[in-house]
Structure 1
């Protein structure tokens, strides 16, 4: 499921976005969700991807609830800084998903990842839980902006695994943090800085984890946002399509 708004402008240079999502070749349903929302009152844009877990219907519901909760809260409760608003949105999502699990007496078995980027007055802000990712691509640099909350990546950060070992570790997909699994959630927050002319952001679920950083960079920098997303999802399916795959690309044009 997706939510999409028409592109708006930020600091005079147009900001465009594209997205694509696919079930893949091994799953029956797509548990990913994404959204692109623009404020009607201020120069603000919100992008989010979420990857649900807990079975077909439950995973879908968790990811969709999360996208809706972050949108509702970010734009509906404007008190505090941008990062505080993002944190509030993901915490509200956690309450909604956890509350639904309580009603079904399935606590801990329903959840979702969430990676949200807010573009406010030309500055990028991030909020993140789980192993969906955010990247920034510039002509001269590529940077993963989020860290995966997985067992394998935690082991890597402690020095117990190399990056290559973490990529292929049996617990590379085992989350250490997710929306809706516990009564409260710890949200990673970061102010990234100015969204410069020519910059591109990529938000994606872990269905793209089989693709190298080089493949991601070439696709995002070499195509329009929509075509880049379609290309990345196609490449993920060519690599086996073992999971749902979602990509959302944001581009600030040269002014």
Structure 2
């Protein structure tokens, strides 16, 4: 049985001031410990089709697979946990479905989406992403970006042609080098780590981090702490007040203490029943 970490989730999404429709998609299953965000691309509403396929497919696949897994069990060949391998396979399944949908309907030719997600299990978290949607972690009052953008500008930063501040204003900063649905296969970056009580994980589309810098994101989270609902609202509001040139979406996840008083009621009941 999958031993999910106790979490609280808050999310917000907004079309912004420029775009006519929202191509971002967000989803979560707190009981399963999964949060997902996708930022679609493509004309004739194809972006929102791609992002919704990604979120729905991943949640459906993990709801089917994760409950039957043993927490922390390692894949003997690859060295990742079974949960991480399930996450990767769900993303690859989403890539296949988007690609097939684009091949079968010329209106959606070339559609794709970024993807960032986290799956919490026990005291572990699996992080996976494709594209430039980001995941940040707030721990001990310090914000850290845990994903690396799959963009041309990030590759230039890595090779020393730009620094991070120059990259923020570069004309080609949003040109992604990876996305779901563009090719029959895709490389998925995965990361495993400890999820500590009090950690806050932020998933966001580039409509957030293009509009406000990391120091503003950090300050906003600190000002609202520990209220992640208020934090999500303020992050989106500040992105809109800074121009709102793109769809903006955020998903905030706070890892709870496993002490019964800090858990949601349904988790407290389960914990008490296990002890009796």
Query: TM-score, with normalisation over the residues of structure 2?
Result: 0.82
Q: Distance in 2 between matches of 1:62 and 1:107?
A: 9
Residues 183 and 108 (structure 1), Cα distance of their counterparts in 2 relative to 1, 3 Å cut: farther
Does the alignment pair 1:200 with 2:205? no
Residue 207 of structure 1 aligns to a residue whose secondary structure is helix
Aligned residue runs from structure 1 range 222-233, under 5 A: 222-223=223-224, 224-233=227-236
Q: Which moved more, 1:102-111 or 1:203-212?
A: 102-111
Aligned residue runs from structure 1 range 47-126, under 5 A: 47-78=35-66, 81-105=82-106, 109-126=110-127
Shift of 1:214: 1.6
Report if the CA contact (8 A) 1:27-1:243 is conserved. yes
Residue 45 of structure 2 aligns to a residue whose secondary structure is helix
Shift of 1:102: 0.3
Aligned residue runs from structure 1 range 126-205, under 5 A: 126-193=127-194, 195-205=195-205
Equivalence for 1:3: none
1:214-240 CA-partner distances (Å, limit 9, x unpaired): 211122233211111111111011111
**Whose helix proportion is higher, 1 or 2?**
2
Residues 73 and 212 (structure 1), Cα distance of their counterparts in 2 relative to 1, 3 Å cut: same
**Whose strand proportion is higher, 1 or 2?**
1
Residues 86 and 10 (structure 1), Cα distance of their counterparts in 2 relative to 1, 3 Å cut: closer
Residues 114 and 33 (structure 1), Cα distance of their counterparts in 2 relative to 1, 3 Å cut: same
Report if the CA contact (8 A) 1:220-1:249 is conserved. no
Q: Distance in 2 between matches of 1:69 and 1:97?
A: 10
1:46-86 CA-partner distances (Å, limit 9, x unpaired): 00100001025211110010001111222223466111111
Residues 130 and 52 (structure 1), Cα distance of their counterparts in 2 relative to 1, 3 Å cut: same
Residues 10 and 187 (structure 1), Cα distance of their counterparts in 2 relative to 1, 3 Å cut: closer
Report if the CA contact (8 A) 1:107-1:181 is conserved. no
Equivalence for 1:4: none
* Higher alpha-carbon Rg: 2
Q: Distance in 1 between matches of 2:109 and 2:160?
A: 29
Q: Distance in 2 between matches of 1:33 and 1:221?
A: 26
Residue 172 of structure 1 aligns to a residue whose secondary structure is coil
User: Which consecutive segments of 4 or more residues in structure 1 shift more than 4 A?
Assistant: none
Q: Distance in 2 between matches of 1:38 and 1:162?
A: 37
- For 2:246, which of 243, 246, 250 is the aligned residue? 243
Query: TM-score, with normalisation over the residues of structure 1?
Result: 0.89
1:102-131 CA-partner distances (Å, limit 9, x unpaired): 012467620000001000112111110000
Residue 217 of structure 2 aligns to a residue whose secondary structure is helix
Q: Distance in 2 between matches of 1:153 and 1:107?
A: 28
Q: Distance in 2 between matches of 1:221 and 1:10?
A: 26
